[in-house]
Structure 1
Amino acid sequence: MKLLYLWARLACSLFATIPVSGFYLPGLAPVSFCEEDGKTSDCQNKIQLFVNRLDSVESVLPYEYDVFDFCKDEEEKRPSENLGQVLFGERIETSPYKFKFGKDVSCQKVCSKSYATSNQEDKAKLDFLKRGMELNYQHHWIVDNMPVTWCYQVEDGQQYCNPGFPIGCLVTHEGRPKDACIINAKFNKKSTYYLFNHVDITITYHSGDNENWRGARLVAARLEPQSIKHGDENSLSCEGSPMEIPVDFSTDLKVTYSYSIKFESTNAIRWASRWDYILVSMPHSNIQWFSIMNSLVIVLFLSGMVAMIMLRTLHKDIARYNQVDQIHLHSGAAYEDAQEESGWKQVHGDVFRPPPNGMLLAVFLGQGAQIFIMTFITLFLACLGFLSPANRGALMTCAVVLWVLLGTPAGYVSARIYKSFGGEKWKTNVFLTALLCPGIVFADFFLMNLILWVEGSSAAIPFGTLLAILALWFGISVPLTFVGAFFGFKKPVMEHPVRTNQIPRQIPEQSFFTRPVPGIVMGGILPFGCIFIQLFFILNSIWSHQMYYMFGFLFLVFIILLITCSEATILLCYFHLCAEDYHWWWRSFLTSGFTAVYLLIYAVHYFFSKLQIQGAASTILYFGYTMIMVLIFFLFTGTIGFFACFWFVNKIYSVVKVD
């Protein structure tokens, strides 16, 4: 108990070193705004606009707002960020855009930036800004913890509200407008960048009339980016020609940033549902609903068919064996016929023979159990709304904290499995369980972080956060793994329903489909079929910076993946046992784990067919992070298949009579 108390104190101390903002479950506490000057505990007048990192679909490298030469807040303040936000590379800070609630402002100057051709520093700043426009880097602004959106019509006539807006656009030397340059016919000059240096902001609020709170609550924030070449700074006019920046920097340049803001009142939108207009407008959201439902129906139908076939076949086999056991003294031919029809009973003396490299399998299963429990709890909490997009970074924070605290199940499962194999090197087993797979992930992550650091990206994890992660790993997760292994090794060895023969049985010649590789390759097809639609939207949320919020469907897909991995592995395991091949330990793990290989293939296809990523660094980062995802998914699905097959084999050999 004293040891657990010390670990608990260490955990609290380590989590305290990471800046974590408070959570309001299942959402955030509303803030009321009033037109009166001053700030009270229940109502405030000033609205602060925050800026986040800038990112692009053509690059994996996000950058902080300050890296670009934009207007900066004189009193720059950074709100506290939780661990998930830091790991995702979010860098939120205050901006010079400050408003008073209810006060409309037209064409207000923010700041001016000058670039001289004779100044190399100015040239470097302008070149970086032009590079950002060429790669279509996007601003991400926040008001009252809500994204400021840019809403526009898309091809199908629907309105899409983008939680970001571009810093500018480019018309190529052939005269072809790229990205946002297609929205304005004035953007037509060849070899010219158009900088969006003005924004028209509209803030919509719920007035609070006849409500039990004082003041108003913000329910939407939209903007329209504009490119305007301002003349007199002292008397700005937001009418005129666009702000052009030539590709060749040959003359001095001056850029003035400005904004206009107006407030609109509506009681049709409630504060609790203010994110709906963003989420509903996400691309292909309707297609996702129908596709997911179609996929669920197909997978459930196939799963039902597999379950029905397996139950009927096994029921007949078991009944036949038990009947033959009773009459084989009177009719030996019937016994031989039964054995010829199904050979899974013939390998009863070898089916529980320990596999080669049993320690490695036990280590994988321990880590897989840890990942499975972490995933289940995280998705369950997300379904309840605790990890919604409004709680920034909550999803990643929850996953990391759960993984750290679930070291005990990992050690316990690994120890129990390894002990059942007759293993005696318990120290090596525990160390590998605690360090092998997490070490591979951390090494990959560290290399990716080095690339981000060299490129000056905001996604580079600060050194202090890396130390905190290592402290959580070695200070909490590793000791908890040892605790789990301690209890696992204290337990008696798992008893199998049949004894293992001393001499291994020779495996007969196998057909093509009962050989290891074809069976493993086929085993991952059905599980992958039930996730590839969700996988598309998950990859979109990661690499195309779109919000993912359908955690209810994702949880259903998780359950169906669990069922499908189990049934596909059981089915193939049964066929192999009938073919008198008793090497099912590793095969059951690899059969469902091969789904991760299809995930890798799909990720490669997605990279070349959907993304427009440029640059070697971005390509390395994409595949580096993809390998982490593939390894985690391999352990996750492999563990599901193994334990399903383990239960199945124990079940069928415990209900038949063996002499």
Structure 2
Amino acid sequence: MAGLTLLLVAVLLTALPHQNMADEHSHQYSDSEQVVVWINTVGPYHNRQETYPYFSLPFCRGAKHDIGHYHETMGEALQGVELEFSGLDVSFKNSVDKKEYCSVVLDESKMRALVYAIKNHYWYQMYIDDLAMWGIVGEVEDGPDSKEYIIMTHKKFDIGYNGNQIVEVDMTTEGKTKLEIGMTLSFTYQVNWKSSETKFTNRFNKYLDPKFFQHRIHWFSIFNSFMMVIFLVGLVSMILMRTLRKDYARYSRDADLDDLERDIGDEYGWKQIHGDVFRPPSFPILFSSLIGTGSQLAVVMLGCITASLLGHLYTERGTLLSTAIFLYAATSPVNGYVGGAIFSRLGGKEWIKAMLFGTALFPTFVCGTIINIVAISYHASRALSIFTMLTVVCISLFVILPLNLVGTILGRNISGESDHPCRINTVPRPIPEKKWFMEPWAIALLGGILPFGSIFIEVYFIFTSFWQYKIYYVFGFMLLVFLIMMVVTVCVTIVCTYFLLNSEDYRWQWTSFCSGGSISLYIYLYAFYYFFFKTRMYGLFQTLFYFGYMALGSAALGILCGTVGYIGTSYFVKKIYSTVKID
């Protein structure tokens, strides 16, 4: 038991960003104290998600070896942040003149590797005190007879300090050297320290791109989306209130007729299916699991946006992803509570099976893709190590599963009682034929257009920040757009469900979920447009990587919006049937 407790503590600590004794975490230095220069990854400039270990190329490290390779957090490990010590001897406020730190003799294989990297515009990333720097491996020049491949052998570091803290870092790659087989490449570095007036709290501003994230454009897009919300809410309220008022009047008038007159009369509409509207949907285990997962994802997304808005999580490597992992594990009771309650209301008996399915649904979907297999085959740094995968499994088994079990038990016992305002008929009512555009699949497809339109501008900014290494920092706008999307999704699914019920089709549960969830289809279609017209990505690895991650993101958002649509529609359906007198 003690061993299990220690394992749980270790798993949670790896999932959370934490502090340790290294100076780069306290960000406080004394004069002449060692400053660690970390090397991250190397890869093609136009395929920025395709990264490899820095020393997969024939580079060399400096003479110092007293600090080893490590990962801070689970978020860094999942992002493929491969921090390795450069071996460069750098100390606080001590400048270093141009100095050789290592050399490499080029044979044919090393020459071929460097030429390939230069031809594909490889670049690499380094860190000093959590501040990133970038440099190019080399460049191609026109020679007298053929192309000449030039490598940059000198790194010049300009470091600014304010008091005892580092506030600026810049790296310039120099020392152009023509590559030739058999030559000795001498790598050198230089360090210049300078006093700076930049405040420590503002040191990350240089990485932000305010010209791209123009607030005027964001406010304009949010204004348009907000006007769409007002229009939709007003339209839904006006149409449904007027239409439902007429329906109530007609049904009340029909209730005063005798049975013969009622049979001769014109009976149609949503009241006619009151005995079937609360019939459990097909595949109740899958349905309740999706609703539980969507509820959990909504809480996680809202928590991540709020934490980023208040805590500026984008300034630390992997912190946002680590926060998302922690929130997903901590909010597992939400999944169990909602999924267990809905499964119980639907009359489900195999609640343990439903709980296990709901627990494994999203993690299996995330881990079941071929992205990691492709990354391993390419020896990319994005490939997850065995330790990382075991840690994810431990989090799922020893944290998420027990919390989900607790939530399921609470959900079944607190909110698991059926509260349908109408009894369910023993024999299902036949569904009449109708126009093709009133079929559930057509309604579901149309339901995602307006929610996608409400977030279209923000999707472009998010895509660009993720795939083109622009740091997304305007989380206030993201929060507003997220809330607007929720309201639009609820309004649209309510209208779609009313049309479906009015055509005497009682299959509204899956239709309402798919109406909201179909936003994922439009986002994925937009991902195709973005890939071919907004990026310069190429190759099998990057293509699979891009579309694999876009499928994951689109599906997660679809589950979230489908859940919100179903919950809003469920309240609407119960409300209209509870106010109608049913004989």
Alpha carbons of structure 1 residues 28 and 102: separation in structure 2 relative to 1, 3 Å: closer
- The answer to whether structure 1 residue 411 and structure 2 residue 411 are counterparts is no
Q: 1:280 is matched with which residue?
A: 209
- The answer to whether structure 1 residue 96 and structure 2 residue 87 are counterparts is yes
Q: Is the 8 A contact 1:307 1:567 kept in 2?
A: yes
How much has 1:124 moved relative to structure 2? 2.0
- The answer to whether structure 1 residue 257 and structure 2 residue 192 are counterparts is no
Aligned counterparts, 1:272-311, within 5 A: 272-280=201-209, 284-286=212-214, 289-311=215-237
How much has 1:17 moved relative to structure 2? 6.3
Residue of 70, 73, 84 corresponding to 2:59 = 70
Residue of 562, 579, 582 corresponding to 1:655 = 579
Report the more deviating stretch, 555-564 or 513-522. 513-522
- In 2, distance between residues paired with 1:8 and 1:583? 47
Question: Which residue identity lines up with residue 31 of structure 1 in the other structure?
Answer: Q
The sequence identity of aligned pairs, in percent, is: 26
Aligned counterparts, 1:574-653, within 5 A: 574-653=498-577
Report the more deviating stretch, 133-142 or 585-594. 133-142
Residue of 155, 170, 181 corresponding to 1:222 = 170
Alpha carbons of structure 1 residues 595 and 329: separation in structure 2 relative to 1, 3 Å: closer
Alpha carbons of structure 1 residues 324 and 434: separation in structure 2 relative to 1, 3 Å: same
Q: Is the 8 A contact 1:366 1:413 kept in 2?
A: yes
Alpha carbons of structure 1 residues 476 and 599: separation in structure 2 relative to 1, 3 Å: same
Alpha carbons of structure 1 residues 276 and 253: separation in structure 2 relative to 1, 3 Å: same
- The answer to whether structure 1 residue 198 and structure 2 residue 123 are counterparts is no
Secondary structure (helix, strand or coil) at the match of 2:50 reads: strand
Secondary structure (helix, strand or coil) at the match of 2:35 reads: strand
Secondary structure (helix, strand or coil) at the match of 2:429 reads: coil
Alpha carbons of structure 1 residues 448 and 321: separation in structure 2 relative to 1, 3 Å: closer
Q: 1:465 is matched with which residue?
A: 388
How much has 1:576 moved relative to structure 2? 1.9
Q: 1:126 is matched with which residue?
A: 111
Q: Is the 8 A contact 1:318 1:655 kept in 2?
A: no
- The answer to whether structure 1 residue 85 and structure 2 residue 76 are counterparts is yes
Aligned counterparts, 1:361-510, within 5 A: 361-386=287-312, 388-444=313-369, 447-491=370-414, 492-510=416-434
- In 1, distance between residues paired with 2:93 and 2:332? 52
Q: Is the 8 A contact 1:19 1:81 kept in 2?
A: no
Alpha carbons of structure 1 residues 18 and 324: separation in structure 2 relative to 1, 3 Å: closer
Alpha carbons of structure 1 residues 329 and 108: separation in structure 2 relative to 1, 3 Å: closer
How much has 1:642 moved relative to structure 2? 1.0
TM-score by length of 1: 0.80
Q: Is the 8 A contact 1:197 1:225 kept in 2?
A: yes
Alpha carbons of structure 1 residues 198 and 477: separation in structure 2 relative to 1, 3 Å: same
How much has 1:188 moved relative to structure 2? 9.2
- In 2, distance between residues paired with 1:452 and 1:218? 35
Deviations along 1:218-252, one digit per CA (max 9) or x if unpaired, are 221123222x2xxxxxxxxxxxxx3122xxx5x42
Q: Is the 8 A contact 1:28 1:390 kept in 2?
A: no
Report the more deviating stretch, 468-477 or 351-360. 351-360
Question: Which residue identity lines up with residue 274 of structure 2 in the other structure?
Answer: H
- In 2, distance between residues paired with 1:305 and 1:258? 64
How much has 1:640 moved relative to structure 2? 1.3
- The answer to whether structure 1 residue 22 and structure 2 residue 8 are counterparts is no
Residue of 110, 120, 123 corresponding to 1:135 = 120
TM-score by length of 2: 0.90
How much has 1:390 moved relative to structure 2? 2.3
Q: Is the 8 A contact 1:10 1:476 kept in 2?
A: no
- In 2, distance between residues paired with 1:13 and 1:271? 32
Q: Is the 8 A contact 2:40 2:125 kept in 1?
A: yes
How much has 1:23 moved relative to structure 2? 8.7
Coordinate RMSD, CA, aligned: 3.0
Q: What residue ranges of structure 2 are gaps of 5+ in the alignment?
A: none
Q: 2:178 is matched with which residue?
A: 244
Q: 1:571 is matched with which residue?
A: 495
Q: Is the 8 A contact 2:62 2:102 kept in 1?
A: no
Residue of 91, 101, 111 corresponding to 1:110 = 101
Q: Is the 8 A contact 1:23 1:391 kept in 2?
A: no
- In 2, distance between residues paired with 1:30 and 1:512? 64
- In 1, distance between residues paired with 2:442 and 2:244? 28
Deviations along 1:589-617, one digit per CA (max 9) or x if unpaired, are 10111111112112222222233333323
Alpha carbons of structure 1 residues 410 and 194: separation in structure 2 relative to 1, 3 Å: same
- The answer to whether structure 1 residue 11 and structure 2 residue 8 are counterparts is yes
Deviations along 1:280-315, one digit per CA (max 9) or x if unpaired, are 36x6232xx333222211221111111112222333
How much has 1:541 moved relative to structure 2? 3.2
How much has 1:271 moved relative to structure 2? 1.2
Q: Is the 8 A contact 1:168 1:195 kept in 2?
A: yes
Q: Is the 8 A contact 2:37 2:86 kept in 1?
A: yes
Secondary structure (helix, strand or coil) at the match of 1:609 reads: helix
Alpha carbons of structure 1 residues 571 and 319: separation in structure 2 relative to 1, 3 Å: closer
Secondary structure (helix, strand or coil) at the match of 2:51 reads: strand
- In 2, distance between residues paired with 1:646 and 1:188? 75
- In 1, distance between residues paired with 2:549 and 2:348? 34
Residue of 168, 171, 190 corresponding to 2:138 = 168
Alpha carbons of structure 1 residues 579 and 330: separation in structure 2 relative to 1, 3 Å: closer
How much has 1:126 moved relative to structure 2? 2.6
- In 2, distance between residues paired with 1:16 and 1:380? 22
- Count, aligned residues: 573
Question: Which residue identity lines up with residue 546 of structure 1 in the other structure?
Answer: K
When you count helix as a share of all residues, which structure comes out higher? 2
Q: What residue ranges of structure 1 are gaps of 5+ in the alignment?
A: 38-44, 116-121, 149-163, 176-186, 207-214, 229-241
Deviations along 1:153-181, one digit per CA (max 9) or x if unpaired, are xxxxxxxxxxx22212234xxx5xxxxxx
Q: Is the 8 A contact 2:61 2:88 kept in 1?
A: no
- In 2, distance between residues paired with 1:23 and 1:589? 45
Alpha carbons of structure 1 residues 494 and 61: separation in structure 2 relative to 1, 3 Å: same
Q: 1:61 is matched with which residue?
A: 50
Question: Which residue identity lines up with residue 140 of structure 2 in the other structure?
Answer: L
How much has 1:342 moved relative to structure 2? 8.3
- In 2, distance between residues paired with 1:202 and 1:383? 31
Q: 1:233 is matched with which residue?
A: none
- In 2, distance between residues paired with 1:135 and 1:426? 54
- The answer to whether structure 1 residue 352 and structure 2 residue 278 are counterparts is yes
Question: Which residue identity lines up with residue 396 of structure 2 in the other structure?
Answer: W
Q: 1:119 is matched with which residue?
A: none
How much has 1:90 moved relative to structure 2? 0.3
How much has 1:329 moved relative to structure 2? 7.0
- The answer to whether structure 1 residue 558 and structure 2 residue 482 are counterparts is yes
